[in-house]
Amino acid sequence: MPAATLLLPPLEFSSMTNPLPPRRSAAEQRKLDAALAELFERQITFNQILGLKVLRLGPSGPQLRFEMRPPLVGHYQFGRLHGGVISATLDALAGLAIMVALGEKHGDESSDQIMHRFTRLATIDLRVDFLRPGTGGHFIGSAEVLRLGGRVGTAQMRLVDDGDALIATGAAAYMLS
Domains in the chain, start-ordered, CATH in brackets? 26-175 (3.10.129.10)
The string of pLDDT tens digits covering residues 109-128 is 988 998 888 888 999 999 99
**Confidence category of residue 144, pLDDT binned at 50, 70, 90:** very high
Look at residues 136, 125, 14 and name the one whose alpha carbon lies nearest to residue 80: 136
Burial 109-133, CB ≥16 within 10 A → b, else e? bebeebbebbeebeeeebebeeeeb
Q: How confident is the model at residue 2 (pLDDT cuts 50, 70, 90)?
A: low
Q: What is the pTM of this model?
A: 0.85
- Report the C-alpha gap between 32 and 39 in whole angstroms: 10
Provide the pLDDT for residue 102. 93
- Mean per-residue pLDDT, 88-95: 97
pLDDT of residue 17: 54
Q: Residue ranges of the alpha helices (H) in the chain?
A: 26-38, 45-50, 83-105, 111-117
Residue 125 CA, distance from chain mean position: 15
The whole-number pLDDT of residue 19 equals 58
Question: Is residue 163 predicted with pLDDT exceeding 60?
Answer: yes
Higher-pLDDT residue of 166, 21: 166
What are the tens digits of pLDDT across the range 6-47? Answer: 454 444 444 445 555 678 899 999 999 999 999 999 999 999
Q: What letter does residue 22 receive in the DSSP assignment?
A: P
The more confidently predicted of residues 16 and 103 is 103
Cβ-proximal residues to 138 (8 Å cutoff; 6+ apart), any chain: 65, 66, 67, 68, 161, 162
Q: Which residue type is seen at 110? A: S
The C-alpha atoms of residue 72 and residue 49 are separated, in whole angstroms, by 9
